[in-house]
Amino acid sequence: MADEPRKDPASTGRWLMRSLDRATLATARQGWPYASLVLVALDHSASPLLLLSNLAEHTKNIQQDARVSLLFDGTAGLADPLTGARVTVQGEISAIADASLLTRFVARHPSAAAYAGFADFHLYRVAVTRAHLVAGFGRIDWIESDALLYTDATPALAAAESDIIKHMNEDHAEAIELYARKIAGCAGTGWRLTGVDPEGIDLRRDGVVCRVGFAKPVRDAEGARVELARLARMARRRV
């Protein structure tokens, strides 16, 4: 996971959530906690999105009790994992029918395209209640949903996202490689853009994801174009 310093707990937690493509889902099963690994994407507000099968045990559980927790673990690769950041997000989960958000999920997780159209798979969104951030020893905070979620997301950027992704991957592959290697410090080649939200971009190479933040929030396609061009200039200077 790319390490992006943030000043306040809410921004730190949101960055961690946006940077990771998987989480541990905790549901209730006959009065017992039940934890499972799930793939996760976020909408532009940073609300978690999950694509779940009706046959999965966690789906059966949430049909009985919609309260869930998601643990986003950013401690991978650390010699002492307890010094790393992790955030537990609590909320209620419900199925949604939103083609654009399903497209966003599949862009984040290309392998999901193989089953996203199956009748027993449905997209779910977690309505966040609050989150608990542990960002290392002594850095522990509860964060309410109105602080954690990004409330200034605009429909204009969401509507333009697919076109931006297509344009960048087809016409600016070299810039995407520079974003990953020279700005985020993510190794390897073959990176592709999978998402654009108000706070940054998501990249993927095979099974690895990488996050690059914007200097300032963007609200539409023009704002994204300006920030992407700025990032490209910055990356080329580092070459």
Give yes or no for residue 4 having a pLDDT over 80.
Answer: no
User: pLDDT (tens digit, 9 = 90+) per residue, 19-53?
Assistant: 999 999 999 999 999 999 999 999 999 999 999 99
Q: Report d(CA 158, CA 19) in Å as an integer.
A: 18
Residue pair 186/2 in contact (Cβ under 8 Å)? The answer is yes
- What global pTM score does this model have? 0.94
Which of 155, 183, 146, 190 minimizes the C-alpha distance to 169? 190
Q: What angle do CA 175, 163, 218 make, to 5 degrees?
A: 70
Give yes or no for residue 157 having a pLDDT over 70.
Answer: yes
The domains located in the chain, with CATH, are 9-148 (2.30.110.10), 155-238 (3.20.180.10)
State the amino acid at position 130 in one-letter form: R
> What are the tokens at 42?
């976020």
What are residue 91's phi and psi, to 5 degrees?
A: 175, -170
Position 183 scores a pLDDT of: 97
Give yes or no for residue 239 having a pLDDT over 80.
Answer: no
User: pLDDT (tens digit, 9 = 90+) per residue, 94-135?
Assistant: 999 999 999 999 999 999 999 999 999 999 999 999 999 999
Instruction: Identify the residue with better confidence: 163 or 137.
Output: 163
Taking the mean position of all CA atoms in its chain, how far away is CA 54?
23
Position 105 scores a pLDDT of: 98
Q: What is the DSSP string of 107-151?
A: HH-GGGGGTTTSTTEEEEEEEEEEEEEE-STT-EEEEEHHHHS-T
Position 2 scores a pLDDT of: 42
Report CA-CA distances (Å) from 164 to 110, 111, 159, 216.
17, 21, 10, 18
Give yes or no for residue 3 having a pLDDT over 80.
Answer: no
